[in-house]
């Protein structure tokens, strides 16, 4: 049973999807028992993903920590998903998200597509909020040319949703990605984890992970063997 650590308000629905989802029969139904904290961050609707030009936060908010705690509640477990929107056929096939390593300030989340184990999402707490990086590796463990791109939060977000506008390193590495905004959403009502990317304000990628469809943990991502 998944126990999310924090609940301050009602989550939003998942971001835009362009392909009808094929129902799956989960091996087990996971009930969500949410521990309710005092309303330190107030009620109201969950905000939309961050837009370009929003004011930046100056210190890490309670909602940043709550989001990390809710992702960490999945630690050690793997779930099946699929790409509902992508710009490449590299994401065709079975997708497995594995919340593999969780420390106080970092969470490593390999995302495998079929036999491709090149991708790891890395969430990190910073003094100002949260950071998302994409670690891409070759089978021998060396880094690909396009790796370590991502961004930092610029808004408090919620315990269920955080957005990461592209940072300066990303803009230099991939100039066309300067306007990228990655949004991660946990929806406890539908048992879905969604990774959504926009570029120039338009949807570019949507990966939907079914948290009720748990699978055995896969092998480590390339470059992470032995860790």
Domains of the chain, with CATH numbers? 62-215 (2.40.128)
Tell me what pLDDT residue 42 has.
38
SS3 content of the chain, % helix, strand, coil (to 5): 10, 35, 55
> Rounded to two decimals, what is the model's pTM?
0.77
Q: How far apart (Å, rounded) are the C-alpha atoms in residues 34 and 202?
A: 33
Alpha-carbon distances of 182 from 35, 96, 205, rounded to whole Å: 27, 19, 9
| Tens digit of pLDDT at every position of the chain (227 positions) | 566 665 544 444 334 334 444 444 433 333 333 333 333 333 344 444 444 434 455 689 999 999 999 999 999 999 999 999 999 999 999 999 999 999 999 999 999 999 999 999 999 999 999 999 999 999 999 999 999 999 999 999 999 999 999 999 999 999 999 999 999 999 999 999 999 999 999 999 999 999 999 999 999 999 999 88
Q: What is the pLDDT of residue 63?
A: 97
- Find all residues with CB under 8 Å of 18, minimum gap 6, and list them: 84, 85, 203, 206
pLDDT at 201: 97
pLDDT at 227: 84
CB atoms within 10 A of CB 69: 15
């Amino acid at each position: 049973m998944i126990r999310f650590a924090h609940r301050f308000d009602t989550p939003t629905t998942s971001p835009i999807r362009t392909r009808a989802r094929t129902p799956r029969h989960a091996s087990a139904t996971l009930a969500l028992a949410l521990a309710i904290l005092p309303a330190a961050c107030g009620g109201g609707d969950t905000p939309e993903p961050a837009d370009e030009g929003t004011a930046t936060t100056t210190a890490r908010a309670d909602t940043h920590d709550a989001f990390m705690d809710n992702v960490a509640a999945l630690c050690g477990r793997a779930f099946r998903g699929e790409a509902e929107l992508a710009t490449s056929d590299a994401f065709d096939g079975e997708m497995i998200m594995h919340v593999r390593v969780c420390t106080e300030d970092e969470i490593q989340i390999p995302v495998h597509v079929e036999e491709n184990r090149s991708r790891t999402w890395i969430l990190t707490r910073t003094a100002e909020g949260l950071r998302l990086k994409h670690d891409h590796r070759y089978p021998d463990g060396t880094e690909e040319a396009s790796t370590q791109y991502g961004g930092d939060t610029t808004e408090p977000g919620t315990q269920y949703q955080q957005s990461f506008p592209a940072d300066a390193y990303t803009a230099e590495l991939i100039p066309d990605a300067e306007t990228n905004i990655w949004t991660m959403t946990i929806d406890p009502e539908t048992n879905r984890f969604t990774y959504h990317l926009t570029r120039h304000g338009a949807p570019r990628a949507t990966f939907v992970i079914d948290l009720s469809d748990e699978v055995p943990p896969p092998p480590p991502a390339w470059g992470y063997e032995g860790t």
